[in-house]
Chain A
Amino acid sequence: MTAPAVTRPPTLIPDEAACADTLARLKAAREPRVVVVGNPNVGKTTLINALAGTNLKVGNWSGVTVEKREAHLNHAGRRVHLLDLPGAYSLSPHTPEELITRTALLDEAPDAVLNVLDAGNLERNLYLTLQLMDYRLPVAVALNLVDEAREKGVQVDSRALSRLLGVPVVETVASRARGTDTVLDSALGHATLGIGVRYPEAIERAVEALSTRMVGVDTLPPHAHRYLALTLLEGDPSVRGRLNATGHAALVQAANAQLLELDTQGLDPLIEIAEARYALAGDIARAAAPQAQARRTVTERLDALALHPWLGIPLFLALVLLVFRLTFTVAAPFVDLIGGPLQDTLTGWASAALSWFPLARDLVTGAIIPGVGTVLSFLPTLLVLYLAMSFLEDSGYMARAAFLMDRAMRSVGLDGRAFIPLILGFGCNVPAVYATRTLERRSDRLLVSMILPFMSCSARLPVYVVFAAALFPRQASLLVWAMYTLGMLVALAFAFVLRRTSYPAEGSGVLLELPPYRFPTAQVLWKHAWRRTASFARRARTTVLATVAGVWLLLAIPAVSGASFATVAPQDSLFGRVSQAMSPIFAPLGFGTWQATGALVPGFIAKEVVVGTLGQIYLGEQAARPAALGLVDGVVQAGRATWDAVVASVSAIPTILALPSLNADATGDLNTPLATALARAFTPASGLSYLVFVLLYTPCIATVGALAQEHGRRFAWTTVAYQLATAWVAAFLVYLIARAVL
């Protein structure tokens, strides 16, 4: 796991006489008892069932066998007892199952140990093997699960393993009874004392001293002396309790004295003993399965690309661009449908139904339908966007994106944890503000709250979409993508500047467990995307509806003498006049009209209201005197338009991947009346500057409220002010550049 060991860890080689002796006893045993030991879920029980024809319970999870079970069989004229033990990672018991296994090894006086290993996980499994060898019992190894290991690309050299461990090793696939016949021959005819771990010298001396005290005590079987001495030095409480209770308190005392002595030498036996075992286990595993790391999993291979130091971020940005292309392509026909024919139909019906109530008819056909309707027309866009985003999340890619963000964040001196609120900000800034609570330091919370509103929340998307479609139909998705990217860049730039000036940086870890990649199911995608789309729709019913009604009222109140309520020309209404008064502020940005200015003000309430208000202003007038529409005519008209939209959407799908025309998609063609109106009212340069302003100015009143609640009113209003200033300056610069270039 670390740099390859230069020197082999030292081992104890058992003396040949002792080996010959144990083997002779094993062969002489009339009814040999073999204990089957191994890590959980490596196939111990399966192996026993295959050998003995028993039907002990197996299952593909750890801890299936929870007590010892016995199976019997006849082998070469002898009756053999096979003891199935619960899985154990080590013989220093941490679980009740491990305690059972350890106790059985101490008390059952086994004639041989059959150690089952998972060939695909050698390093971890060998720890137990080496611990077993501290018992001086004959051991044979069944190298099981070789089929699964091979699938993982791990090839274990069983001969090398046998040589290194000093015990026989047989390859098996227990579930298909492969190699199982040889296993018994090996365990009953060749099992022997393997190599042992040689611990640091001082520990070996202490072990020696303690073992000497155990010689001749018949309640302490000789095969367990070394193991017991080590366990005493490890401070294992259950062994100490057992020895104390069986009249060996003096032994425990002696161990304590040894521990004190080791401590004065600065040695901590617990970890030194484990270190020596892990060092040897790792060494043997590397030597026996040299190409263990050869084949990388799909996830690892994908991650090499996704998390690549240079390619990672460009890849992420490219994927996001692809998502926007998809969003435009698939959703555009439906946006057209809702923003055009369906709205016309509704308007027609409403004006027919409300023909006797002119004021209500005005409100519905001139404000609610164009205002709320325009916002709702983006539901398909959001649904597709959320579907694509859910795909990125559920496939496991989003975790990688967050990992990349984390890296970028720390490069500007931010707490790595900051990426959570920032990523949340793409959905909605409000929960993102609350999520800053996860940051430990107040200065981090403040800083992240200040830059967070620059992350483009989904409410801003409709504004981009309609402007992109109206003014840059060929590069629509690229433009939307550029807006999101610009938001991130501005946020990071501010983080960089503020961090350098006011708060010192602090390194904090990566926060993620990277899940393996997998293909998400359609149901899960739909569920996630639908929930988010529904919450957008809910806002249209509440916030947007209320704002639109408010704007309608302001548009209806005359600000000049001689006009009356609801018949005043929009530019002479209270709304029109106030907007007009403010518009000079925006004239340098290229959009000093009262309509453009006017839409920004309700945008404080919620960003999607900007398109709602634009719809109301530009379309409300022409919709104010609509032709009434009959019910049947309406249904026919709407049905025909819906069918057209489905056909257009499906037939546009192949163009998504029509590379290399990255910036020339024919997909942004929105034909809503609002897009047409905007194309007349804005130039490309002023439209661009408008979008930049919308991206960067205060996201919405709810965010300001959250900021005030978290950090106080002063902080909230300061943030509003500096964001307005940033938005103005950035839009101004963009306008200057765009006018020169476009």
Chain B
Amino acid sequence: MKHLQLLAEVTKNVEVGPGIFCLTFTSRELAREARPGQFIMLKVSSAPMIDPVLRRPFSIHKVEGDQVSILFKVVGRGTEILAGENHEVDLLGPLGNGYTIPAKGYLALVGGGLGIAPLLFLAQYCIKLRKDERTLILLGARTAAELAPIKDFRKLGFPIELATDDGSAGHHGFVTHLMTDNMEGADWTVVTCGPQPMMRGVAEQSAANGWECQVSLESVMACGIGACLGCAVRAKNNDSYLHVCRDGPVFNAEEVIL
């Protein structure tokens, strides 16, 4: 797989929920090369070394034709700039290792908060790769408004269950409860992305049931390409570190300490 450095024309930037934006740009090559779970590093300031200097990592959220989207929440200076008017985005990608998707068998996509971002692209992929296999989507958020991006999930036709902390949509409670209620049998593959405590819960529940679980981790990143060694996470089996950008962002839950 080739890593690209390119400038892509922004075609859309829509606020889909409170402070949540879906930014779409044109890149045929990225659309072709990217795999679900991979990310891109975006330069948010317009000039090369003007603040904020470092690029920001974002998961690939959606790919349609040559249109690639990211879904992001405004949390600081960089995402604030991204939420404004941008004619083009300067990006590196696709980066990291994505999900390993089984062609057969039961697959559950468990997302929480902005962690639903990479799961849409994954679900799109499942349509291509395993249309007739059972694929279940479980999504959680604090409140219904944060689940606005699920429109796109619905279009794909896989069964979807929702949970919100405040009960404003779907199940009143955590997304992990949805696992208990909706997943039976012993041959599930679980892929999850979301806040760390949620993923820990999903991983524990998966382990308890003997299901394989893939987690998508976040970490502060200076380079995103394996050069700075800044994105370390603790490995489970010995006293060493793994690197989110190079060894991940998707890991087998058994590999890392969550």
- A-B complex is real: no
Q: Which chain B residues have a beta carbon within 8 Å of chain A's beta carbons?
A: none
